[in-house]
Amino acid sequence: MSDNQFPTQNGAQLVVKMLQEQGVTHVFGIPGAKIDAVFDALLDSPIKTIVTRHEQNAAFIAGGIGRMTGKAGVAIATSGPGVSNLVTGLATANSEGDPVVAIGGAVGLSDTLKQIHQTMDAVAILKPVTKFSATVQSPSAIGEVFLNAFRAAESGRPGASFINLPKDIQAAPCPFNVLKSPTHFGPGLADADAIAEAARLINRAENPIVLLGLSASKPANAEALRQFIDQSNLPVVGTFQAAGAICAHQFENFGGRVGQLANQPADRLLDTADLVITVGYDPVEYGPSDWNGKNTREIIHIDALPADIDNHYCPSVELTGDIARTLSVLTGQILRHDRNALSANVLISIQSDRAQLQLMAANMHGSPVHPLRLVYELQKLLTDDTTLCLDMGSFHLWIARHLYTFRARQVLITNGQQTLGVALPWAIAASIVRPSEKVLSISGDGGFLFSSMELETAVRLKSNLVHMVWIDGTYDMVAVQEKAKYGRSSGCDFGPVDVVLYAQAMGATGLMIRHPDEIGAVMRQAMEIPGPVVVGVHVDYRDNHKLFEMVRGDASC
């Protein structure tokens, strides 16, 4: 590197080159005076700048890109409120294992300690909700800080990084090269002795059961996991974010999803285990006290990171390293398991409950529509080339528990932070990352308005997505739990919004489902319409209390 090599390059231009070097194709955000130099430099690059209608949604879109590709999505915001608006998006990505790098503009370095327009200690604000949060202190540090930020976001359990970029650093002459990632990096295999010991424990166990967590659904991990299940024939349960990790022919091994409350058939199956093998498990999704409250079983932990030790989560063996590679070696040492009578019977009863529930759902003809009928119809519509993005709410529990998919990261679901508003931004991300596929996102009428302004972004991008809104006039997931606790609900009701008119006002198409027998036809019509389509449906939530009752294996919820 020599000073003459880049006579006119400024910091912002090097920032953009660093993004290009990392393979970034899109950045999402809103400009302001403290970050406009980067926006200006982006114009001279192949990177597409996508203006959003709120920085939180920019972070959600970037998080969705990270979850689907494994490479960090990038959000960009100006100083002060622009950066503070990123907090929820970055916290969600960080909890849920999604690689994101956010760049925030900042006042000049010499003004950092002054009370001036839009000054804020952004690094301190973002530190607790990111893996990496730092200020670029000098033009010479741009390459270092950016490369470290990407490496932090994408390695181990992926998460969020925040870079605070003062405006004088962006404007300063910057005669420095981009820094490149090593061609080979990341964790290797877990320790060979630990793998051998894990195999010994699994082979001698009476009733080992596999518990999949959010990292199990990373495509490479899912691939290795499928071979492990084929070889071992072990029963499997998974958290919500593990959706799609196993494949269709392994469905008979699958006891279902666990999460939110230990009241599911899959919990019943897990209860039978004398050994639980966790794969990519993160307690943020489903705490160990929910499934190992009595500490009656051994645990083998397989993850990129060491276990978070808990009174109810003290693994006997820990396989820390690359999950896919470790599973592959472990698979070679595992004997095929004859299913123990206890778990075999539970699995058989789970399968018969599933069939019964399907029959019941198919015959639900009332309006408003029962959630089980909607799930039944959506299951028929959900081809392998459809990405499903779910917001949070009661509707999400119906879907997470009863709708099955067999492609890794086909379903994006928020379970770490359970953040309202993620679905539509994730759908925009999916329409960018998987342009030839179908995209369906779903929210409640509460969650929809958390990010519905991004419909305009979707219209501008001509995103081919269908966003379904389940309408009941309440924040039901909270209402139903309040009623169970206090006998009444507080602060959960809101007024109606005509989602068809709302969609039209944004330039999108709006449709309504008025009867359960129309679901298939309306949804197919929506999928055929170019650009974003919003589909509203009034839902019958009278059974929602069952979602939270402690009745395991009840076929009605």
- What φ, ψ does residue 381 adopt, rounded to 5°? -80, -20
3-class secondary structure, 238: strand
* Cα(72)–Cα(66) distance, integer angstroms: 5
Measured from the CB atom, the residue of 161 and 452 that comes closer to ligand HE3 is 452
The CB-of-222 to ligand HE3 minimum distance in angstroms stands at: 27
**193 touches 260 (CB < 8 A):** no
Is 60 one of the binding residues for ligand HE3 (CB under 6 A)? Answer: no
**Considering only CA atoms, which of 10, 310, 23, 9 is closest in space to residue 180?**
23
- Name which position in 281, 376, 395, 406 contacts ligand HE3 (CB under 6 A): 395
The CB-of-56 to ligand HE3 minimum distance in angstroms stands at: 9
- What φ, ψ does residue 166 adopt, rounded to 5°? -60, 150
Is 474 one of the binding residues for ligand HE3 (CB under 6 A)? Answer: yes
The CB-of-481 to ligand HE3 minimum distance in angstroms stands at: 8
Contacts of 223 (CB under 8 A, 6+ apart): 324, 408
With CB atoms as reference, the residue minimizing the distance to ligand HE3 is 444
What are the angstrom distances between the C-alpha of 497 and each of 137, 469, 491, 502? 48, 11, 18, 8
* Cα(422)–Cα(484) distance, integer angstroms: 27
Cis peptide before 368 (omega within 30 of 0): yes
Measured from the CB atom, the residue of 234 and 412 that comes closer to ligand HE3 is 412
Contacts of 8 (CB under 8 A, 6+ apart): 173
- Name which position in 447, 510, 516, 536 contacts ligand HE3 (CB under 6 A): 447
Is 472 one of the binding residues for ligand HE3 (CB under 6 A)? Answer: yes
- Name which position in 22, 253, 320, 394 contacts ligand HE3 (CB under 6 A): 394
Measured from the CB atom, the residue of 386 and 452 that comes closer to ligand HE3 is 452
Is 476 one of the binding residues for ligand HE3 (CB under 6 A)? Answer: yes
167: left (phi over 0), alpha (psi -120 to 50) or beta: alpha
- Name which position in 393, 416, 425, 510 contacts ligand HE3 (CB under 6 A): 393
Tokens 């006039």, residue?
Answer: 473
Is 418 one of the binding residues for ligand HE3 (CB under 6 A)? Answer: yes
DSSP-H helix ranges across 277-408: 288-291, 323-331, 341-362, 371-381, 394-402
The CB-of-492 to ligand HE3 minimum distance in angstroms stands at: 7
- Name which position in 39, 60, 376, 475 contacts ligand HE3 (CB under 6 A): 475
Measured from the CB atom, the residue of 253 and 474 that comes closer to ligand HE3 is 474
Is 96 one of the binding residues for ligand HE3 (CB under 6 A)? Answer: no
Is 419 one of the binding residues for ligand HE3 (CB under 6 A)? Answer: yes
Measured from the CB atom, the residue of 10 and 418 that comes closer to ligand HE3 is 418
Binding site for ligand HE3 (CB under 6 A): 392-395, 418-420, 443-447, 470, 472, 474-478
